[in-house]
Each structure stands twice: as C-alpha cells, then as structure tokens.
Amino acid sequence: MLESHVRKNAFSMPFSSPAFTCGPYRFINREYLVVSYETDIDALREIVPEPLEVRDPIVNFEFMRMPDSTGFGDYTEAGQVIPVHYDGKQGNYVHAMYLDSEAPIAGGREIWGFPKKLGSPVLVVAGDTLLGTLDYGPVRLATATMGFKHSATDPAVLQQALSAPNYLLKVIPHVDGSPRICELVEYHTTEVTVKGSWTGPAALDLHPHALAPVTRLPVRRVVSAQHFVTDLTLALGTVVHEY
C-alpha cells in the first residue's frame, strides 16, 4: 500500500474497515426527554473546564431516541449536559454520555470528542408516562419520568435553544500516554425542524456507580422537563481553545 493511498483514505480506525462512515450526519425523528435539575454549583465548577464559565447550578439530564441517523443507524443515548457561558455566548457543555451502539461511540469520540461510553439507555412511553432509564452493565444509573404530552410548548423557543453552541473537551493520547490532542471543541446542530414539543410533571432519580459517576452532580430539585421530536443535522466542530 502506497503512502499516498494511506494519506488519501485515512479517516478512522481501523483503517481497513472504519467503525463509522463519513458525514454529514442527519437525524430524522430524533426524540428527547430532558429533565433540568438543580445541583451543587461547587460540584459543577469542579467538573466544567476553563475557559467555560458556570453561572447557575443547573444540569440537563437528557435521553435521546435516534431511530434514523445517517451512518449511525438506530440507537439511544443518555447523559448530563451543563449550561455554560463562553466568549459572551450561552451554550452547553456535554459532560457525560452513555449509548448502546459502537458506531456513534467511536465517531462521536474520534471526530468531535464526545464523552461517550457504552451503556443501555431506553426511552419509551409506558401508559401515561414518558419513561427514560439508563443502565451501566446490570446497574441502574438513572430513571426519569414525565407526564406524557401534558402541555404543548412553543416550538420557536425550542428552535432557538437548539441553535446555541455546544462544547466538548476532546482528549486523544500520544503513544506514550501523554495528551497529544487536548482542546475545547465547539459544535452546532443545524437544519433543525421541531415537529412537536411538550412539558409536564417530571421526576429524576440517580444512583452511584464507580465508573459512571452521575451522582457526582446530585439532584437537589427538578426544575422543568421537556419532551420534543426534531429533525436535525449534527455539524462538524471547530477548535476554540487549546490546552
């Protein structure tokens, strides 16, 4: 194999059969359950890296059902996202994500730096309740419940929120174990179509695990909850800070 062929075709690992395909990455009927809760602001400040700034003690625990995603297929994801400020803009720092498919785990980590690990999230309708659960191995990490479509919300407000920047701490080690890449990445969702959005009463229960420490950001009070369905494109990222 010629060096020129390697340079032209190198995209992902393994080289001979990459774990995921090239983008763009389009999602159809992507369904969310997002429970916003109040936590300890000191715990948030220990977790969120500079130069991002935490102003409020709020965490969003998100469950995402993705039945139709280009290249990634059909999978479910759940985890914690933290509202932050950077460079005069309000956005979101993705702290931890757990999902059930290899392709989006590999692609999310390698391209953008998403903090993805293997887990078993589920988002279903159970009678009159929207139910999200997250397991790590045999251990239940999170259970979220919301009254199913109790009240419709304004899609325009959600559309604006989904246009906010999102931030990731991307780390790729060198062969000696030191960080070869350590950078803050900004990315956006684009071409967003909100197909429906609702709110209702909600609850969230988190459980400790040594390797999936969701309770490091404990639930003090549930603030609000949202259920919505969208089509969107996951755009590629931009490096905004080098560590």
The torsion angle over the Cα atoms of residues 123, 126, 131 and 133, rounded to 10 degrees, is -70
Q: Is 116 a catalytic residue?
A: yes
Helix (H) or strand (E) run with residue 3 in it: helix 3-9
Among residues 8, 89, 116, 170, the one annotated as catalytic is 116
Distance separating alpha carbons of residues 226 and 199, to the nearest angstrom: 5
Beta-bridge partners for 40: none
Q: What angle do CA 43, 199, 100 make, to 5 degrees?
A: 60
Q: Report the C-alpha gap between 178 and 199 in whole angstroms.
A: 45
So which residues are the catalytic ones?
A: 116
